[in-house]
Amino acid sequence: MYEVLSDIQHWLSANETVVLATVVSTWGSAPRGVGAKMALTPDGKLSGSVSGGCVEGAVFDAGIQAVRSGKPQLLHFGVSDETAFTVGLACGGNIEVFVKPLDVAFFRFVQAEIEKGAPLAIITIIQGSSDYLGRELLLSSSGTVQGELGPGLDEPGRQAGQIALEKGQPGSVPVKLASGDEFRLFVDVVSPPPTLVMVGGVHIAIALASLAKTLGFHTVVIDPRRAFGNQERFSHADRLIQAWPQEAFGRIALTRSTAVAMLTHDPKIDDPALMIVLDSPVFYVGALGSRNTHEKRLHRLQEQGVAAEKLARLYAPIGLDLGGRTPEEIALSIMAEIVAVRHGRRSQLI
C-alpha cells in the first residue's frame, strides 16, 4: 500500500476516481509478489506496478471497465493464455490480480490506521457471490475493526486477518458457509516501512540516507555534533536527532523492522549506541571500520559487559565487499547488506 499511498491521496484531493489493482496470488516466475499494487485513474495516471510492466495495460483496461460497471474483477494471466503471451508473460509466470474501484470512505479508515504506524490487515472478498465481491474488512494490530464482509464471513475474515498479522504475510483464504456458499478472501498485510537509523552524520550517511529512502526506508540520522548532524546536510532525511545516543534512542522505537548503521568511527558515540541497539530486537546492526578497528571495538564492549551472543549480531566491517571506496559506493554496499539480511539472504552472499 505504501508504494501507491501518496499518489492515491493526491488524486483523491483532486476529486479523481481511483482504481486499485492488487496481486492476490502468483505461481512460477511471476514478476511481482503477492500484495503488490497498482493504482490508476480513468484519465491514464498510474502508480505502482503489478507485474513490472507485463500486464499493466490489460489491468488498466480492466480498471476502466470496473469504473463503468461498478463491479470488481479477478483477472488471471497464465503462460498458457493467449492474453498472457500478448502482454508479455510468456516466461512461465502466472498471476491473479484483483481490480476494484477504490472505496473512498474505507480508504480513509485505512489511511488513519496507517498514520498510527501500526500493522494492519485488509480482508477483501475476491471470489464468491457478485453481491459480496469486493467487500472489505480492516483489522489493525491494536484491535480496531472497520467495515464488514457479510453474514457468516466477518468472523473467518477476522481470524484470517489475525493470523496474517502474526505471520506478517498476505495470502488467500477459502471460506465455505453452512449454506454451502463458497468464497475466497484475500488478506493483505500493511506494515510500516522499515527504518534505517544512521549514527553519525558523516559523508557516507548523506548518500546512505538517499539510497535508503529510494528503497522505501524511513530514515533517521543521529549525531550530537552540529557540524555533522545539521539540517543543511540532511534535509533529505526523514528525521534528524541532534543528541547523544543515550538520549536519541529514547526517542526512537527500535523494532524488528529497524536497521542501525554505526558510522562515526568515534567510540564515544558508537559504543554507547551499540550497547543499546544490541539489546533490542532490531534486525540489523552494522559498524563502520577496519577489521583491526572492529577487534578493538569488541574488546571495549566485552569489558563493558556486553555478552558474546549479542556481539555476534554485529555486522562489521559493515557492508558487502563490493570493492568500492567512494562514499556512494560504500553506502551501496551497506544498503545491499541490509536488504540481504532483511530477506534472510546474507549468508548466501558472503
| 61-71 per-position pLDDT tens digit | 999 999 999 89
Select from 101, 136, 163 the last residue of a domain.
Answer: 101
Mean pLDDT, residues 151-161 taken together: 92
Mean pLDDT of 3-8: 89
Band (219; pLDDT cuts 50, 70, 90): very high
Instruction: State how far the Cα of 6 lies from the Cα of 255, in Å rounded to an integer.
Output: 24
Can you give the pLDDT at residue 282? 92
**Same domain assignment for residues 44 and 134:** no
- Report CA Rg, the chain: 23
- Residue 60 predicted with pLDDT over 50: yes
Q: Is residue 106 part of a domain?
A: no
Alpha-carbon gap, residue 161 to 172, rounded angstroms: 11
DSSP code at position 289? S
pLDDT, average across residues 7-14: 93
* Burial degree of 15 (CB within 10 A; 0-12, 13-18, 19+): exposed
Across the range 224-239, mean pLDDT stands at 89
Indicate if 206 and 332 belong to the same structural domain: yes
Residue 214, all three cell numbers: 529510494
Same domain, residue pair 321 and 249: yes
Mean of the pLDDT values across residues 267-289? 91
Q: What is the mean pLDDT of the chain?
A: 88
Per-residue confidence (pLDDT) for residue 30, from 0 to 100: 65
Q: Is residue 230 part of a domain?
A: yes
* Judgement on whether residues 45 and 16 belong to the same structural domain of the protein: yes
Strand intervals (E) in the chain: 19-28, 37-40, 46-48, 73-77, 93-101, 120-127, 136-140, 145-147, 171-176, 182-190, 195-199, 218-222, 239-241, 258-262, 284-287, 314-315
Name the nearest CA neighbour of 95 among 179, 38, 168.
Answer: 38
CATH value at residue 266: 3.40.50.720
Task: Give residue 274's pLDDT.
Answer: 93
Average pLDDT over residues 101-127: 90
Instruction: Verify that 343 and 214 share a domain, yes or no.
Output: yes
Q: Residue 79's pLDDT is what?
A: 54
- Kindly tell me if the per-residue pLDDT of 213 is higher than 80: yes
Instruction: Name the residue range of residue 245's domain.
Output: 195-349
Same domain? For 252 and 127 the reply is: no
Same domain, yes or no: 26 and 66: yes
Calculate the alpha carbon distances from 12 to 17, 20, 116, 251 in Å.
7, 13, 20, 33
- For residues 105 and 113, give the distance between their C-alpha atoms in angstroms, rounded to a whole number: 13
Do 86 and 36 fall within a single domain? yes
Are residues 201 and 180 located together in one domain of the fold? no
273 belongs to a structural domain:
yes
Please give the pLDDT value at position 347.
47
**Same-domain check for residues 332 and 200:** yes
Report if residue 325 sits inside a domain: yes
Percent of the chain having pLDDT more than 70?
Answer: 92
pLDDT band of 348, cuts 50, 70, 90: very low
pTM of the model: 0.72
Q: 110 in a domain, yes or no?
A: no
**Domain boundary pick from 101, 136, 151:** 101
pLDDT band at 255 (very low <50, low <70, confident <90, very high): confident
Separation of alpha carbons 317 and 152, rounded Å: 55
| Cα 310 from chain centre | 26
Q: Which of 147, 174, 190 is the last residue of a domain?
A: 190
Q: What is the pLDDT of residue 257?
A: 87
Please report which residue ranges of 35-98 form alpha helices under DSSP H. Answer: 56-69, 82-87
108 located within any domain = no
CA 187, distance to chain mean position in Å, is 16
What pLDDT, on a 0 to 100 scale, did the predictor assign at position 350? 37
pLDDT at 94: 80
Q: Is residue 109 part of a domain?
A: no
Q: Please check whether residues 215 and 335 belong to one and the same domain.
A: yes
320 domain residue, yes or no? yes
Q: What's the structural domain count of the chain?
A: 3
CA atoms of 195 and 219, how far apart (whole Å): 6
CB 221 within 8 Å of CB 241: yes
- Pair 338, 203 in one domain: yes
Q: What is the mean pLDDT of residues 17-39?
A: 86
Burial of 110 (0-12, 13-18, 19+ CB in 10 A): buried
Confidence of residue 128 (pLDDT cuts 50, 70, 90): very high
Residue 275 burial by Cβ neighbours in a 10 Å radius (0-12, 13-18, 19+): middle
Q: Does residue 285 register a pLDDT over 60?
A: yes
